[in-house]
Amino acid sequence: MKRVVILNPRSRNGLAAKAFERLRGGLEQEIGAFDLLLTEGPGDCTKKVRGILKAQSADQILIAGGDGSVNEAVNGYFEDGTPLSARIPLGVINLGSGGDFYRTLLKRNPQYTQALQANRYRLIDCGLTALGNGKDPRYFINITSIGLGGNVNRQMKRSAFQQGKAAYFWHSLTSLFRYSPPRCRFRIKNGSGSWEELEVGLVNFFVCNAEYSGGGMHWAPRSDAADGLLDLVLVSDVSKWRLVMESSRVYSGEIAKMTGVREFRATEIEAYPASPVSHEIDGEIREVGESLLQEFHFRVVPRSIPVIF
């Protein structure tokens, strides 16, 4: 068994490298020896993963970092739209400030370290999102959103207050009261192949492959990452004070009971906002230009990523 750990030393505002050194000895005892690679900048994790998969030079790839590092690794599993491997799985050593995809993994398997040791994995879905006319395609494995969520992430990354649920909640609250919901038209293709159209005042629109984002906000409690469908949560046409009053439901898994929320399951989605909105992918901001009007496309890529489960 050859394991490679890819570490983003800049995760957690630069604290990840020290955190990894503290747990390294115990990790080696639990799962065995591994090679350690350090990323050198944005996009480097994608390149490293892609190189390992093409050379078939490891039996397991472990990402030591946060959701952004996991997202970079997922994009390394594809080249020109084609999956590179179904037999070299991806695992997570959580060092991030949110660790939301790891929450889903741990919920599905509380003995996750044992799964890493045994290299036990399954093929799961991921999502693909692109701008209009297929521009800038990017894969995601957790949750992507348009609307308020991107504003929250941008504000948080500019702040020194970034750790845990309290930070996400604070930045969500303060961003909400500065946000003006635009009209947005959606086209949603369900699992039977039928399209539905609707137009709403967009607060936020979540496209979910897994369950959590925002440091534990539980957007898709019934999500199944291997069912060939994306779980959609649309928050629209609701007062800001009502959202604040019912905000506890975001964490309790009762999102379906929240005022202004509609849920769908789909294989493909198109979104046409009437004015520019922010877009985040697995917790990272997609820089599309804050003043540029874009359309957004999403679709599921079924059973395309081998993940330690």
Q: Are strands 90-94 and 261-266 parallel, antiparallel or unpaired?
A: unpaired
Give the pLDDT confidence score for residue 296 in this predicted structure.
97
In this structure, of 70-79, 95-104, 117-126, the range with the lowest mean pLDDT score is 95-104
**Whether residues 32 and 88 fall in one domain:** yes
- Residue after which a domain boundary falls, among 96, 115, 142: 96
Give the pLDDT confidence score for residue 167 in this predicted structure.
72
Query: Domain for residue 111, yes or no?
Result: no
SS3 for the chain is CCEEEEECCCHHHHCHHHHHHHHHHHHHHHHCCCEEEECCCCCHHHHHHHHHHHHCCCCEEEEEECHHHHHHHHHHCEECCEECCCCCCEEEEECCCCCHHHHHHHHHCCCHHHHHHHCCEEEEEEEEEEEHHHCCCEEECCEEEEEHHHHHHHHHHCCCCCCHHHHHHHHHHHHHCCCCCCEEEEEEECCCCCEEEEEEEEEEEEEECCCEECCCEECCCCCCCCCCCEEEEEEECCCHHHHHHCCHHHHHCCHHHCCCEEEEEECEEEEEECCCCCEEECCEECCCCCCCCCCEEEEEEEEEEEEEC
Give the pLDDT confidence score for residue 290 in this predicted structure.
64
Q: Which whole number is the average pLDDT over 107-135?
A: 95
Confidence of residue 270 (pLDDT cuts 50, 70, 90): very high
At how many degrees (to 10) do helices 67-76 and 44-55 cross?
40
Structure confidence by residue, pLDDT tens digits, 11-37: 776 788 889 999 999 999 999 999 999
Query: Domain for residue 198, yes or no?
Result: yes
**Whether residues 299 and 179 fall in one domain:** yes
What pTM was computed for the model? 0.93
CATH of residue 11's domain is 3.40.50.10330
Give the pLDDT confidence score for residue 156 in this predicted structure.
66
Residue 70, phi-psi category: left (phi > 0), alpha (psi -120 to 50), beta (remainder) = alpha
Give the pLDDT confidence score for residue 288 in this predicted structure.
74
**Whether residues 265 and 174 fall in one domain:** yes
- How many domains, in total, are found in the chain? 2
**Whether residues 142 and 282 fall in one domain:** yes
Asked if the model's pLDDT at residue 262 lies above 90, the reply is yes
Asked if the model's pLDDT at residue 158 lies above 70, the reply is no
Query: Domain for residue 146, yes or no?
Result: yes
CATH of residue 230's domain is 2.60.200.40
pLDDT cut 90: percent of the chain above it: 74
Asked if the model's pLDDT at residue 245 lies above 70, the reply is yes
Domain that holds residue 46: 3-96
Whether 263 contacts 232, CB under 8 Å: yes
Q: Which whole number is the average pLDDT over 89-99?
A: 87
Query: Domain for residue 103, yes or no?
Result: no
Structure confidence by residue, pLDDT tens digits, 274-297: 999 999 999 888 877 666 899 999
Structure confidence by residue, pLDDT tens digits, 191-203: 999 999 999 999 9
pLDDT top residue among 156 and 39? 39
Asked if the model's pLDDT at residue 97 lies above 80, the reply is no
Give the pLDDT confidence score for residue 228 in this predicted structure.
98
**Whether residues 144 and 285 fall in one domain:** yes
